[in-house]
Amino acid sequence: MRRKRYQRGFSLVELIVVIVLLGLLAGGAGLLIVRPIEAYEDQVRRQQLVDQAEMALRQIARDVRRALPNSIRIAPVGSGFAVEMVNTVDGARYRDEFGGEFAASNDTLEFSAGDTDFNLLGSFNVLTPGAFGPRQRLVIYNTSAADVYTDAALNSNPGIITPAGTALSLSTNVPPTQDPEHHITMAPAFQFAQRSPGQRIFVVDGPTSYICNPATGRIVRHVGYDYSVAQPTPPAGGSSAVVVSQLGGCSMTYSPGSAQRGGILTIEITIADGGEAVSLLHQVHVVNLP
């Protein structure tokens, strides 16, 4: 007699046990995957914060290094700061004595009276012959931030910076045998008050400001505005661009140095995002030799 065979499946209890075990295994495997992903995202976020802070500090440092000597001034803005400087377009050395075939009265810069034209010892690096820009002005021997901003804003004439409206043009003086020199023409005549020990002359095109305000969470760069006696925070007019948009805090100290010794600008920026904050400190050497 043949026995009947019965097929047996899983019981409900066995199915529940299997489902629970699979859930535990899946949860453990998920933790093994999620934690590295979260760590990677944290690392990427920190790197982005560092990059943003570093780029902002490099941009500020670049403008500071291009600033007119002795033109940096800072002011508090809430718990942050504002730093302002006069931007230089180009610089060279002016001719203040005759040499070789450069013996005409209009070859040298006269300091005892107003002068209308003179030569450089060589040429500018950036500027080319033609009319200067509408905002460009000449500066010789600026030793104080207060002086250059006041004189430029009030259009006074203590002999540091050419007044607004002075027509400036650049040409090339080519003698028969000597190397050519750039020739500057000024109208009306202007008298610079003091000689630069290094015969330095600068071409500037206006102030530049950085406003670092933790209350707004931003660092903003301002250009193209007018000179003012008191430091504007923020400036009126011109154009602006956001440099940092996740600002957590900032501080600045400035040791101006002297005409013989450079200054030091120390900037600290904190950028925060996602509950994390990154602080970077940067020091910029400021050349003050006028």
Using H for helix, E for strand and C for coil, what is the string for 36-92? HHHHHHHHHHHHHHHHHHHHHHHHHHHHHHCECCCCCEEEEECCEEEEEEEEEEEEE
Does residue 2 belong to any structural domain of this protein?
no
* Alpha-helix runs per DSSP H in the chain: 12-65, 145-154
Instruction: Determine the structural domain holding residue 128 and report its residue range.
Output: 90-204
Domain-ending residue, one of 204, 232, 258: 204
Q: How confident is the model at residue 275 (pLDDT cuts 50, 70, 90)?
A: confident
pLDDT at 47 over 90: no
Q: Are 131 and 207 in contact (CB under 8 A)?
A: no
Q: How far apart are the first and last CA of the chain?
A: 120
**What pLDDT score was predicted for residue 15?**
74
Same domain, 97 and 197: yes
Same domain, 135 and 149: yes
Residue 211, token pair as written in the block = 């406003």
Q: How confident is the model at residue 3 (pLDDT cuts 50, 70, 90)?
A: low
Same domain, 213 and 270: yes
Does residue 150 belong to any structural domain of this protein?
yes
Does residue 249 belong to any structural domain of this protein?
yes
Same domain, 133 and 178: yes
**What pLDDT score was predicted for residue 110?**
93
**pLDDT: is 87 or 256 the higher one?**
87
**pLDDT: is 261 or 237 the higher one?**
237
Arithmetic mean of pLDDT, 221-233: 95
pLDDT at 1 over 60: no
**What pLDDT score was predicted for residue 141?**
93
DSSP strand pairing (73-77 vs 80-93): antiparallel
Same domain, 145 and 242: no
**What pLDDT score was predicted for residue 7?**
56
Same domain, 57 and 94: no
Residue 269's beta-bridge partner residues? 250, 280
Instruction: Verify cis geometry, omega within 30 degrees of 0, for the bond prior to 158.
Output: no
The chain-wide mean pLDDT, for the chain, equals 87
User: The tokens 């610079």 sit on which residue?
Assistant: 192
Does residue 162 belong to any structural domain of this protein?
yes
**Domains contained in the chain, number:** 2
Task: Quick: pLDDT tens for 181-226.
Answer: 999 999 999 999 999 999 999 999 999 999 999 999 999 999 999 9
pLDDT at 44 over 80: no
Task: Quick: pLDDT tens for 63-110.
Answer: 999 999 999 999 999 889 999 999 999 999 999 999 888 888 899 999
User: The tokens 């500071």 sit on which residue?
Assistant: 64
Domain-ending residue, one of 146, 178, 204: 204
Does residue 14 belong to any structural domain of this protein?
no
Arithmetic mean of pLDDT, 242-260: 85
Chain centroid, CA 149 distance in Å: 18
Arithmetic mean of pLDDT, 108-115: 93
Q: In what order do the strands lie in the sheet with 263-273?
A: 247-255, 263-273, 276-286
Q: How confident is the model at residue 256 (pLDDT cuts 50, 70, 90)?
A: confident
- 99 vs 121: CA distance, rounded Å: 10
- 68 vs 143: CA distance, rounded Å: 10
Does residue 32 belong to any structural domain of this protein?
no
**What pLDDT score was predicted for residue 18?**
72
**pLDDT: is 89 or 14 the higher one?**
89
Residue 225, token pair as written in the block = 């505005």
User: The pTM is what?
Assistant: 0.83
Q: Beta-carbon neighbour count of residue 202 at 10 Å? A: 23
- 69 vs 195: CA distance, rounded Å: 15
pLDDT at 2 over 70: no
